[in-house]
Amino acid sequence: MNAFFFIRRNHRKNRTTAPVRFVACPISVLFLWIALALFLSGCKSPAHTVDASVDGSGPAEEENGAKATADSDLAAGSAENVGSGDLRNSSSSSAQAVPTDDDSDKSSTTDDSSDKGSNADDSSVKNNSTSDSSVKNSSTDDSPLPASSLPAPSTSGALHVSGTQLVDSKEQPVQLRGISTHGLAWFPDYVNEECFAQLRYEWNVNVIRLAMYTAESGGYCTDGDPARLKELIRDGIRFAASQDLYVIVDWHVLSEQTPNQYLEEAKTFFGEISQEFAQETHILYEICNEPNGQTSWSEIQAYARNVIPIIRANDPDAVILIGTPNWSQMVDQAAEDPLTEYDNLMYTLHFYAATHQDDLRAKMESALSLGLPIFVSEYGICDASGNGGLDFEQANAWIASLDQHNISYVAWNLSNKNESSALLRDSCTKTSGFTSEDLSASGQWLHEMLQKVHAKTAADRFTRRRIS
């Protein structure tokens, strides 16, 4: 070391002599070689060499693998969030909150003689990719979800029945959710294109039911104007088509109790309408709304066997809905003895949540288990009279069960009649362009429920697509 520093000192001073450099340089070189050897031996650690050769991946590869795992987890999580977060926010589309309880009678009434007929007795009464993006964005604004993901004539085509399910032209299960008019003779003005468009695109409705009473005051078969009523039916069919809605033509049997009382009129009516619209694929025919009183299932079968061939002669594949005894509650009787001569038949169940509860749901599920295709073509959340208190708890239980079984359902009724089942306040004089302030408590509940159910359906479809 002394020789090393001696050389450096004399080098800086320019006084190093040749003999000194001759002696010092070999010592310096030796020292450098030793230092270099020690340095190189430290770099070639056996442990480091083995680690690099065992798994063939360096730190960069491990980091990339961790990132890939995280990205995968994030993608999976985003699909779940579409369903949960958006559903929590979907209720914001209704400006007014619907109460969750009231003083309505929640007794589990199962008396089959409950008077359902009084709700009409008063004649003096006042896109797949698009759907995915809409679900993702629904948590950030209050606008209703686009209705492009709903089953509709333009995308689902002609419907038919497979097993217990309503299915589309591609054999995919379809669930219709809609609204029924009140009696066309009394509330004709709601049959207009602007109203149907709002229900389709703001309420997420995909079916409209045209309820034409037969025996009441103003009824088709009594003192009503048959030509005017048929024109309302025609208008409703055309407006539904223009707004991409399915439509139910409802022969609204009620106070006459048995559909056979006006059998010939029914055959003529359905013959004319099915012939005129034979090429349309968006029409369902409901041939007897609510047989009641002492009308038996065998009497209904006899009526159906007379009317169905009339429709089939013009429209061989249309879906036909058949009422069941006791205001369309006895689906168990139909399940035990269904009509087997024809395809594309469904059997109607009607309920009013404050009256019909667990017992009728159990009857529905039993009929389903026997293979009966069921369609709820009318329901309300009040009692069976169409009036009285609302039962939100039972209403939600019904919707959950119907959605679970993929059963279609249509709410009663589009009117401003002063009764609980009417969707509009009696002070509302509009026939379209409804706001939340125009809605009754039933209307508010229905609007909010349809938004939530549509959001959940779209989210489930998105999740299934991600998984597949």
The residue whose two tokens read 């299960």 is 173
Contact (CB, 8 A) for 320 and 309 = no
Catalytic site residue 290?
Answer: yes
The runs of H, that is alpha helices, within 138-192 are 153-156
Give the containing element (helix H, strand E) for 320.
Answer: strand 320-322
Distances (CA, A) of 347 to 13, 121, 329, 376: 115, 25, 10, 8
Provide the token pair at 242. Answer: 């223009």
In the set 378, 393, 419, 437, the catalytic residue is: 378
Distances (CA, A) of 388 to 82, 101, 112, 118, 438: 38, 14, 18, 12, 19
In the set 256, 286, 290, 448, the catalytic residue is: 290
Sequence-distant (≥ 6) Cβ neighbours of residue 178 within 8 angstroms: 199, 205, 206, 207, 208, 209, 245, 246, 248, 408, 409, 410, 411
Opening angle at CA 459, ends 458 and 461, nearest 5? 65
Provide the token pair at 453. Answer: 């159910």
Identity (one letter) of the amino acid at 45? S
Identity (one letter) of the amino acid at 314? N
Distances (CA, A) of 409 to 88, 342, 464: 23, 23, 24
Contact (CB, 8 A) for 300 and 322 = yes
Report the C-alpha gap between 180 and 323 in whole angstroms.
16
Contact (CB, 8 A) for 450 and 444 = no
Contact (CB, 8 A) for 321 and 285 = yes
Catalytic site residue 286?
Answer: no
Provide the token pair at 79. Answer: 């699909």
Contact (CB, 8 A) for 4 and 31 = yes
Q: Which residues are catalytic?
A: 290, 378
